[in-house]
Each structure stands twice: as C-alpha cells, then as structure tokens.
Copies of this chain bind each other. A is one copy, B any other.
Amino acid sequence: MKTCLLALMLSMLVVACGNDNAAQQATNAHNQQTYKWKLVTSWPKNFPGLGTAPERFAEQVNVMSGGRLQIKVYGANQLVPAMQVFDSVSAGTVEMGHSGSYYWKGKVPAAQFFCAVPFGMTAQEMSSWLHYGGGMALWQELYAPFNLVPLAGGSAGVQMGGWFNKEINSVDDLNGLKMRLPGLGGEVLSRLGGVPVSLPGGEIFTSLQTGAIDATEWVGPYNDLAFGLHEAAKYYYYPGWHEPGSTMEFIVNQEALSALPDDLQAIVRNAARAASQDMIDEYTFRNIAALEKIQALEGVTIKRFPDSVLAALQQTSEALLAEQAAADPEMDKVYQSFLQFRAGVTRYHNLTERAYLNLRAD
C-alpha cells in the first residue's frame, strides 16, 4: 500500500488543471476506494427466487460501481444462522442482510407489518405504502435503534393457502388440524382450535408424508413444486389469506452505509429497488409454469377455502392484530398507518385491479 501513496497524491495533483473535468477527476480519485461487504441471508445459498434476488442485487451493484463495491452473498448458516441475520447486521459483524422482517417479531413486534400480516396488502400495494404512503419512514424509525436501514427486498406475490391432507369444509375442520403455519397465521389457526407447528423447511415434506402434520403452507407453486409437496398431500387450497404479499427486506448496517460515498449509496438503493421488482417478475413467471404442472397432476385437487372458513379466519385475524397493536404503542403507530392505507387501496383496487381481473376471468 505504501508504495502507492505517492502515486495517489500525484494523481490527485495532476488533475488540478483547468478544464471541466477537474472537479470530477478529483472526486473520482477520492472515490477510488474499494469496499468489500458481506451480505448474509435467511435462505439456503441460491434458493430459487428468495435466494437469487440478493445474488442479482450484488451482481448489479458490482457492475454499476465498476467494482468499487463488492458484495459477497452468504446462504443461511454459511456465516451466520438464518435467524441471526438481524443481529449480525445490527452489530456490524456483516454489512448487509436479506431476510423477512416478520422473523424479528420477538424483538420488534411492529416489524411484522413490513413483511406480511394476514389479510394485509398485495405486493403492489405494499410497495406503494412503503415508498409513498409513509410505510418506509415508519420502518426506518423502527430499525434505527438497531443501527439498521431497511429497504424493500422483493415479493413472491399472493401466496397459496397451503397443502392439506384433510378437506376443509367448515370451521370445525380446523379443530385439531396440525399445520405448519408460522407467525400470525399460526396464531389465528390456534384461536380456531388448530395446532400450528413450527418446522424448518427441510423437515416439512417428511412430516406431511408421515402424517406428523395434516397440512403446511410454504411459498407458492414454484417453490412448493420444487419441494415435492404435491407428492405428500391431496389438496392444494387457495387463497393465501395469511401472506397476501409478503415483502422481503434488505437491511444495511447504518455506519457501513454512511461510510459509502453518495454515488455508492445511491447504487445500493437503486439496485435494491430494481431487485425488488425483479423478484415479483420472476415469481409471477415461474408460478404460472409451476401451477400448470400442478393442475395437470393426478391425485392433487385445487380447492378454494369455503366462505365460512375464510370469514372466520378474517374475523379472527383482525381481532388478533387489533389486540396486539393495543398492547404495543410502537406497533399501534404502524398498525394505524397500515389500516388507513389498506382501506384506501381496497376502495381504489375494487374499481381497478379487482374489477379488471374479474372482468377478464369471466
């Protein structure tokens, strides 16, 4: 390094000549520093969809920065366990993470709203709430004490309701139902007599096949098909009331972000925005193909949950959210913003997205 100090000083001196590019060249000299970041994720390395998004993000940052910001992506457990992404970025052990904010509800209950809550918003609606409806400011405020800057990190779209080995014809059929359904969805099921089970991804298939669980949700047709869930269950239910538009998160260590020059900060933000849109684009495409395969399978029946069941799930979900928000002022602040935006966008999409999708499908 020492041998280059003089060279660097020289190169900074020689640019001090009187043309338009002088200031620019000085800036460039100042910006020649190369940054190497680590990005940890909650997904297996290159996990289809969720895991490929941070890879694409890192690749685009590398190209856009001309190699000045190099981000290495780690799968879950390669560097830190899946559920330690938040803490590791917060502590500055690593500079970035890609995960889902609902994993941190034990630490920050309000964080769930920035990923998915039952009967919440779709991917398109979430993106608008975050970037224009005040959601992002609330998220930033929530993460600031942890030294974290959140950015939207993509969505898989409206999920399916899950794979079942028991038909669900009434609310009574939820009674005693053992289902792998984490988070708030699981709490709703529990209130209706079901038994939510927590299982890591790798154990779902066997548990479903052996009858240790009666049902499971996972992500959607693309990831579900790859997991082989159609070989372990008879019914594929819709719609995914529990996760209508789960939004993933990029989290950046505050000091690491601030230490970057302005151009690299903007590159990180724009790359995240682009990767975010890319994820829903990819999931939409791959879900179409996967659903076609599932629909062609013998032995799998695709069914809509009965109205009575959906009504009970909705009522229970709304009550649960209201109770949790009432008990936590920080959560209540986010909840009120969420409620207001959801009401407005429901009215608007009734006349546009919803009316049009219904028209086209008839």
Number of copies: 2
Q: A60 vs B277: C-alpha distance in the bound complex, in angstroms?
A: 17
Contact A288–B347 (Cβ < 8 Å): yes
A44 proximity list for chain B (CB < 8 A) = none
Q: A304 vs B352: C-alpha distance in the bound complex, in angstroms?
A: 10
Partner-contacting stretch, out of A80-88, A201-209, A210-218, A259-267:
A259-267
**Which residues 236-278 of A sit at the B interface, judged by CB distance below 8 A?**
238-241, 244, 261-263, 266-267, 270-271, 273-274, 276-278
A92 proximity list for chain B (CB < 8 A) = none
- Asked if A280 CB lies within 8 Å of chain B CBs, one says yes
Q: A123 vs B310: C-alpha distance in the bound complex, in angstroms?
A: 28
Tell which of A261, A270, A276, A352 has the most Cβ of chain B within 10 Å: A352
- Asked if A324 CB lies within 8 Å of chain B CBs, one says no
Q: A346 vs B358: C-alpha distance in the bound complex, in angstroms?
A: 10
**Which residues 87-132 of A sit at the B interface, judged by CB distance below 8 A?**
119, 122-125, 127-132
A7 proximity list for chain B (CB < 8 A) = 14-15, 17
A3-18 interface code vs B (CB 8 A; 1 in, 0 out): 1100110110011011
Q: A352 vs B294: C-alpha distance in the bound complex, in angstroms?
A: 15
Q: A127 vs B29: C-alpha distance in the bound complex, in angstroms?
A: 39
- A310 CB → nearest B CB, Å: 6
- Asked if A198 CB lies within 8 Å of chain B CBs, one says no
Q: A315 vs B17: C-alpha distance in the bound complex, in angstroms?
A: 69
Q: A352 vs B287: C-alpha distance in the bound complex, in angstroms?
A: 10
Contact B291–A347 (Cβ < 8 Å): yes
Q: A280 vs B33: C-alpha distance in the bound complex, in angstroms?
A: 36
Q: A280 vs B221: C-alpha distance in the bound complex, in angstroms?
A: 26
Q: A127 vs B281: C-alpha distance in the bound complex, in angstroms?
A: 6
- Asked if A34 CB lies within 8 Å of chain B CBs, one says yes
Chain A interface, DSSP helix/strand/loop, else mixed = helix
- Asked if A190 CB lies within 8 Å of chain B CBs, one says no
Give A132's nearest chain B residue, CB to CB: B285
Give A7's nearest chain B residue, CB to CB: B14
- A348 CB → nearest B CB, Å: 5
**A residues apposed to B, CB below 8 Å:** 1, 3-4, 7-8, 10-11, 14-15, 17-22, 24-25, 27-29, 31-32, 34, 60, 63-68, 119, 122-125, 127-133, 157-160, 220-221, 238-241, 244, 261-263, 266-267, 270-271, 273-274, 276-278, 280-282, 284-289, 291-292, 295, 302, 304, 310, 314, 341, 344-361
Q: A122-B353, A127-B281, A238-B355 are in contact. List 11 more A-B contacts (CB 8 A).
A: A11-B11, A11-B29, A24-B66, A25-B32, A28-B32, A132-B282, A133-B285, A238-B352, A270-B271, A273-B273, A350-B357
